């Protein structure tokens, strides 16, 4: 998943804390954590874990969720780390089919998001991809609420979306429209969106920070982003009837050099302390039950309580390439 701009600050801090060389005890073990580029953790929290566990965490970033999955599959015979984080629900079935991960039932795991009976992947965080509206940018037009509203002529030239061929939220939005309109109806739905002036850009950064009027830079008051986005952008809200749930997972890699240490790192990522900081560090919702959101989030970006909208992982894995190619021909052809 791509994050809101404030995450960039956290990433810089987190990257430094993980890579800065410091004297280590002779008996300290190392665990290599392979992640997508948006992983972040507060330095003090990581330092405390490293001190109490005797584990030094080395970070290896590998692009977005798709690139991370591809690399893990290609290197599964000689894994590039001990544990991986950041494979989301749109790519998880491929990693499971390729037997990239080994079983481990982590402490505090949320069974609601369990993908297989052997616990090879553990949910770490949740990000609901939804259309966001800048209420002040509608200029008197009533707020849309549903997918169908987005095709109404009142919202002509107002919506900007990310390409599902190049963007994780863009892919999630496409999957959401397929779930909404069905495999026989989504093409017609996108034909209506195209006729209503939808604008397609390559990624979230361009859509949200350049085209969206809610940031004060763009002219379009409707954008595909996250249910959490309004926590950082005043005068905006998420349209909860357009949400598609993405879950990000972590797992211990098959052939890991330090599987026992990797299991401890996974348990740490599900601890109350780590999960409580997931919103502010990575701008997603914690996957562990019973973890309170920050006060600002509770007011402006509460987690959608009834959103379970998602396609079966196997269906996504089987049809993803075909759906994206059809979308490209229909919308960009």
Query: What local confidence, expressed as pLDDT, does residue 287 receive?
Result: 96
- Which residues are registered as beta bridge partners of 32? 58
Q: Which of 18-27, 46-55, 237-246, 310-319 is least confident? A: 18-27
Higher pLDDT, 114 or 3: 114
User: What mean pLDDT comes out for the span 23-52?
Assistant: 89
Beta pairing partners, 88: 248
Nearest to 274 by CA among 86, 124, 52, 53: 124
pLDDT tens column, 87-97 = 998 889 899 99
Task: State which H helix or E strand residue 133 sits in.
Answer: strand 122-134
Q: Any idea which residue has 């998602």 for tokens?
A: 310
Beta bridge partners of 225: 130
Q: What is the DSSP string of 67-125?
A: HHHHHHHHTTTS-S-SEEEEEETTTHHHHHHTT-B-----TT--GGG--STT--SEEEE
- Rounded to an integer, the average pLDDT of 196-202 is 97
CATH fold match for the domains 7-126+245-300 and 128-244+304-332: yes
The residues spanned by each domain of the chain are 7-126+245-300, 128-244+304-332
Q: List pLDDT tens digits, range 230-250.
A: 998 999 999 999 999 999 999
Name the pLDDT band for 67 (thresholds 50, 70, 90).
Answer: confident
CATH 3.40.640.10 correct for 128-244+304-332: no
Distance, in Å, from the CA atom of 175 to the CA atom of 162, rounded to the nearest integer, reads 13
For residue 323 the two structure tokens come to: 């759906």
Among 15-29, 137-151, 263-277, 299-313, the range scoring the smallest mean pLDDT is: 15-29
pLDDT at 62 over 50: yes
Pair type for strands 29-35 and 199-201: unpaired
Contact, 189 vs 151, CB < 8 A? yes
- pTM for the full model? 0.83
Topology (CATH) of 7-126+245-300: D-Maltodextrin-Binding Protein; domain 2 (3.40.190)
Q: Which helix (H) or strand (E) segment is 32 a member of?
A: strand 29-35
pLDDT for residue 15 is more than 50? no
Place of tokens 């409707």: 222
pLDDT over 80 at 106, yes or no: yes
Cα within 13 Å of Cα(232), Cβ side = 19
Average pLDDT, stretch 251-278? Answer: 98
What is the rounded CA–CA span in Å between residue 155 and residue 143?
Answer: 9
Please spell the DSSP secondary structure of 213-256, one letter per residue.
GGGTS-SBSEEEEETTGGGTSTTEEE-GGG-EEEEEEEEEBTT-
Distance (Å, rounded) from C-alpha 259 to C-alpha 79? 12
Reported as a single tens digit per residue, the pLDDT across 260-270 is 999 999 999 99
């Amino acid at each position: 998943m791509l994050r809101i701009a404030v995450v960039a600050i956290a990433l810089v801090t987190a990257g430094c804390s993980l890579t800065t060389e410091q004297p280590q005890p002779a008996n300290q073990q190392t665990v290599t954590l392979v992640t997508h580029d948006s992983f972040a953790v507060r330095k003090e929290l990581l330092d405390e874990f490293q001190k109490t566990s005797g584990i030094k965490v080395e970070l290896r970033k590998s692009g977005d969720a798709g690139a991370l999955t591809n690399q893990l599959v290609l290197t599964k015979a000689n894994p590039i780390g001990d544990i991986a984080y950041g494979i989301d629900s749109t790519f998880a079935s491929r990693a499971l089919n390729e037997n990239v991960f080994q079983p481990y039932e982590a402490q505090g795991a949320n069974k609601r998001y369990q993908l297989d009976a052997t616990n090879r992947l553990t949910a770490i965080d949740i990000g609901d991809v939804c259309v966001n509206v800048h209420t002040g940018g509608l200029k008197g037009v009533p707020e849309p609420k549903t997918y169908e509203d987005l095709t109404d002529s009142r919202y002509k030239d107002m919506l900007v979306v990310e390409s599902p061929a190049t963007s994780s939220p863009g892919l999630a939005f496409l999957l959401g429209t397929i779930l909404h309109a069905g495999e026989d109806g989504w093409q017609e739905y996108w034909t209506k969106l195209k006729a209503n002036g939808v604008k397609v850009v390559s990624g979230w950064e361009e859509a949200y920070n350049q085209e969206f009027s809610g940031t004060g830079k763009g002219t379009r008051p409707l954008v595909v982003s996250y249910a959490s986005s309004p926590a950082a952008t005043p005068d905006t809200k998420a349209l909860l009837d357009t949400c598609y749930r993405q879950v990000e997972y972590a797992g211990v890699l098959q052939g890991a050099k330090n599987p026992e240490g990797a299991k401890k790192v996974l348990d740490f990522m599900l601890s109350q302390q780590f999960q409580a900081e997931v919103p502010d560090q990575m701008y997603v919702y914690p996957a562990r039950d019973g973890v309170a959101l920050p006060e600002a989030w509770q007011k402006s970006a509460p987690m959608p309580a009834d959103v379970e909208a998602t396609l079966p992982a196997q269906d996504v894995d089987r049809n993803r390439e075909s759906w994206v190619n059809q979308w490209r021909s229909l919308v960009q052809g």
